[in-house]
Structure 1
Amino acid sequence: MRWPVFPLVFVVLGCGAEAPPGETGLSAEPGEELSGGETTVHDTSKNAYSLSARNMTPERRSAFFVGNSFFKENWVIAPASTEGRDGLGPLFNARSCSSCHLLDGRGSPPDDPAEPLVSVLLRLSIPGVDAHGGPAPEPVYGGQLQPRAIPNVGPEGDAFVAYEEMPGSFPDGETYSLRKPVYTTAAARGDMQPDTLISARVAPAMIGLGLLEAIAEEDLLKAEDPDDADGDGISGRANHVWDVARGAVALGRFGWKANQPTLMQQTAGAFLGDMGITTSMFLTQECTDVQADCKAAPTGGSPEASEKILGDVAFYSTTLAVPARRDVGDAVVLAGKQQFLKLGCGNCHTPVFRTGTFDGYPELSGQTIRPFTDLLLHDMGEALADGRPDFEADGREWRTPPLWGLGLLETVNGHQNLLHDGRARGFVEAVLWHGGEAEASREAFRALPAEERRALVRFLESL
């Protein structure tokens, strides 16, 4: 099977034209290096994404390490003598959380077009919505393609990516090339429905997620302007999604289209969708009606992951710290910061928030943080559209992703593959893929002298 390629957004650089009042970028602000406030870690090693909030008590840090062990360990097929760790599958993408989130960082597509996707998964849906307003699953394959299976269950097939180079040049004559991914599948259970909507997704970094959940809802909603009432070209809006624990609609914060309301739900969803592990939140396997072998497979109990394991992994995911920025007072970094603000990048990539009171997480409460995101949906244009709605997000909208920690991506994960499917080989290519609300800023970036373009990249590398 072969389908059109849909460019997807990871770094949204630009949604306006002016720097915020009082923000000139000409000097470092007090505490600017502390991306996560008092939780910030000062580490530039391969473990920079894997450390706990620095202001945690020893007792709570012990709980962090317990969650870390469950995050890293492989699940096994049921029945097994490994109590509480069996129940893998029947269908799955990975055996552990860390298989995709290596060192708690970002995944990357393979370089070899003959190698199947590993830390990249394919989301599937058909036109319409499910009972709670989310994407309607593909009738044969469900909500995502799962290439692995336990014995006596047929896997759903593999996916592969190859690239077409798209050369271009800046107005000053410097050349570049963008690589456009082309995906193919070797579907093992027959053809997908003809109108299936498909999106490739790289596993994102895990850092700072609890701090994002700690931002007060009213502070996020202040930036909404769905009808662009102020005429600045920005029409950010929140996604509203189904909160399983509350049994009600809630603000979406997590995921590429802000389709998850809490880290607990995101964790439980990953257990089920990625590893085939049931939890108290999702007790039923996602076997479709035509997957009789999947439905007949043995289980590791109900639920397969205990409440304690689910809570421990969610606690770990919530308290992973953000590394400190480097070189915040460097002249080139400051020049790049000035361009970032001048081009309007900070109007969507909001530099600073103050977290509210986060029940159960005193270390994350009342922190001044610098995530560079507004967590809102923005129309990024047809070139970046996947055509796949997700709750209230349409096929052209994506959540502004946080930028903190990106400067250490190569150190931690050995690559600089950006955008949400890893197509961009560094920040410049990531910027150049953008359109829609970011088009004016992209073109302003293209028009900058080479020295100023490099300064902007140097600022991003400092995050």
Structure 2
Amino acid sequence: MNAPKTLAPKALAFLLPLISGALVLTPLIATGGDVAFPTTRTDLNPKDLKRVETVTRPTTDFSKPEQFELMAGGAATTRADVNGDSFSHFSANITFAEEGTFKLGNALFTKLWVAAPSSTQASDGLGPLFNARACQSCHLKDGRGHPPEGGADATSMFLRLARPARTEAEKQQVATYQKLNFPDAVYGEQFQDLAVPGLASEGKMQISYEEIPVKLADGEIVHLRKPTYSVTDLGYGPMEGDVTLSPRIAPPMLGMGLIQAIPEADILARADPDDKDGDGISGKAAMVRDHKSGELKLGRFGFKAQNASVRDQSSSAFAGDLGISTPDDPFDHGDCTKAQAACLAMPTGVQERLGPVEAPDPVLDLVTFYSENLAVPQRRDMGNPEVLKGKEMFYQSGCTACHTPKFVTRRDAGNKAQSFQLIWPYSDFLLHDMGEGLADGQQVGVADGNEWRTQPLWGIGLTKTVNGHTFFLHDGRARNLTEAVLWHGGEAQKSRDAFAALSKTDRAALLKFLESL
């Protein structure tokens, strides 16, 4: 998306009350569908293509840091002091005018939406069923969410609901990328535990844990906790019998614009769905529809890569988490279904003078721009001998087979701040079978119930600093990085076993390396 550099008078008239105190804040590779992507980069001349191939080649020298490794997000990297705001800085290379756009986006990202009707007409339309009142409620300090622990609430965690295709027609809709899956007839696509006044919520999420001891090669015992999910106090009757509950914690927001600028060819080059090279790793590309145009694109955002762009990810969150309609997901009643008549009868926040949806552009534009330009922090302790040793262990254990260290973004990226940057996300952005232990049983487009997108690792070592916890994986079951690694299975089983077989010293070094990212 090309973000607005200046705002039209009508846009300003809409935004000012929102953020002021007055209203409370080339050869082609076929993808099996109706689109094809280049097998090689089309944005570079031969000389630059050679440079990119050289600089992204995996290192074999672990005696010292690699060139440019400090700047994990390229020139967009923030060098600000490490503290609780480390994930909330803007890209270091955006223009002064864009800093203003970023700050407007931040104001909208943090604003609290209210139920309609309200005197704050530019801020109403919440729900009627919802999981949070603001984007920031889930992505606290733009970081990682957590499961409810003790007395903590579940604001930064929710359940996705889906059933499999039942008919040939439904199977065809999935096969042609028209549908990712099918919602529960009563509770929709997402289980919402909050509701506006006068309306019953959908119920409560319940989690129980079973402790599983795992013995490592050196005799150390690590206890993993296996979660079981259920719902109680259902407000609208029973769910359908074949509906799956898939838990999600809010992922960190950093570096999304850079991820979006990675060329399709470079991601697809690592895909090997049939494991033709026999290495046991069969990364699969996710193909999804653009929310607005319907065009088939490469999915790269979300735990199952169900969104192709930062804009799509943002509009999905507005609709599912907040119940706020946008131009790309114009659902004024959020995830209310036909079976929830009381929900559909509630007023919405659509204001004719502002447009046909509750959050018209430029709201979605600005939140998207903000999300695209949250900077990646620079690396720490890169030259520490233990960190370098841990990096070597990370490579030797085979972790880089999925956690690809580096890419160079497109020269023709939509924003110059993301153009031709060497970045270090440590992800291939492909779908992988992670084994039965992490399976949620829920199909999302081409991703089956065992498959998940490889999560980027940049910033992972600052989770405690920013968010005050160390809960990892899609549902936060892992209480630390050791547990997160030991939950890996399926295609990652060999790497998981290699980690478990390391000496205590080497294992600690690998963890030290992860903490430096």
Q: TM-score, normalised by structure 1?
A: 0.93
Task: State which of 330, 333, 342 in structure 2 corresponds to 1:293.
Answer: 342
Q: Does 1:157 align with 2:203?
A: yes
Greater RCO, 1 or 2 (C-alpha within 8 Å, sep 6+):
1
Q: Which residue of the partner structure matches residue 233 of structure 1?
A: 280
Q: What's the secondary structure of 1:283's corresponding residue?
A: coil
> Paired residue for 2:239, among 192, 199, 214?
192
Larger radius of gyration, structure 1 or 2? 2
CA contact (8 A) 1:117 1:158 kept: no
Q: How many angstroms apart in 2 are the aligned matches of 1:297 and 1:427?
A: 44
Cα distance in 1 for partners of 2:412, 2:133 equals 31
Corresponding residue for residue 13 of structure 1: none
Quick one: which amino acid aligns to residue 77 of structure 2? Answer: T
Structure 2 CA distance for aligned equivalents of residues 191 and 174 of structure 1: 44
Deviation at 1:168, TM superposition (A): 2.2
Give the 3-state SS of the residue equivalent to 2:163 in structure 1: strand
**Residue deviations 1:9-37, cap 9 Å, x none?**
xxxxxxxxxxx764233320011111100
1:171-250 correspondence to structure 2 within 5 Å: 171-186=217-232, 187-250=234-297
The structure-2 alpha-carbon separation of the partners of 1:96 and 1:214, relative to structure 1 and needing over 3 Å to count, comes to same
Cα offsets for 1:176-234 (capped at 9, x unmatched): 11111222311221211111111000000000011000001111111111111111111
Instruction: Output aligned runs, 1:75-86, within 5 Å.
Output: 75-86=113-124
Distance in 2 of aligned mates of 1:57 and 1:364: 12
Measured in 1, the distance between the counterparts of 2:208 and 2:275 equals 38
TM-score scaled by length of structure 2: 0.84
Q: Tell me the amino acid that sits aligned with residue 396 of structure 1.
A: N
Aligned to 1:127: 164
1:335 is aligned to 389
- Deviation for aligned residue 1:77: 1.3
Q: Which moved more, 1:60-69 or 1:174-183?
A: 174-183
1:430 paired to 2:484: yes
Root-mean-square deviation (CA, aligned residues, Å) is 1.5
- Unaligned segments of structure 2, at least 5 residues: 1-56, 351-355
Unaligned runs of at least 5 residues, structure 1 = 1-19
Question: Which residue of 2 is the match for residue 349 of structure 1?
Answer: 403
Q: Distance in 1 between matches of 2:98 and 2:162?
A: 40
Counterpart residue type for residue 104 of structure 2? V
Distance 1:192 1:316 in 2: 37
Check if 1:72 corresponds to 2:110: yes
* 2:230–2:245 CA contact under 8 A, matched in 1: no
Aligned equivalents of 2:91, 2:439: Cα separation in 1: 36
For residues 222-279 of structure 1, the C-alpha deviation after alignment (integer angstroms, 9 at most, x for no partner) is 1111111111111001010121222122110100000001111111111010001001
Which stretch shifts more, 344-353 or 155-164?
Answer: 155-164
Q: 2:87 aligns with which of 41, 49, 55?
A: 49
Q: Which residue of 2 aligns with 1:308?
A: 362
Question: Aligned partners of 2:105, 2:118: CA distance in 1, in Å?
Answer: 22
Alpha carbons of 1:141 and 1:289: their partners in 2 closer, same or farther (altered >3 Å)? same
For 1:136, what is the secondary structure of its paired residue? coil
Distance 2:330 2:209 in 1: 39
Q: What per-residue deviation string (whole Å, max 9, x for no partner) do you get for residues 319-378 of structure 1?
A: 100001100010000000001011111121000100003544111111000000010011
Bigger Cα displacement from structure 2, 428-437 vs 280-289: 280-289
Distance 1:243 1:189 in 2: 32
Partner of 2:214: 168
SS in 1 for 2:362: helix
Q: 2:121–2:349: 8 Å Cα contact kept in structure 1?
A: no
Letter in 1 for 2:466: V
| Rounded Cα–Cα distance in structure 2 between residues aligned with 1:269 and 1:23 | 41
C-alpha separation in 2, matches of 1:414 and 1:82: 33
After superposition, give the CA deviation of every residue in 1:57-105 in whole Å (9 maximum; x if it has no partner): 1110111000000000101111222242111111110000000000000
* Partner of residue 66, structure 2: 29
Structure 1 segments of 4 or more deviating over 4 A? none
* Count of matched residue pairs: 444
Alpha-carbon distance change, 22 to 322 in structure 1, aligned in 2, over 3 angstroms: closer
Q: Determine the structure 2 residue equivalent to 1:318.
A: 372
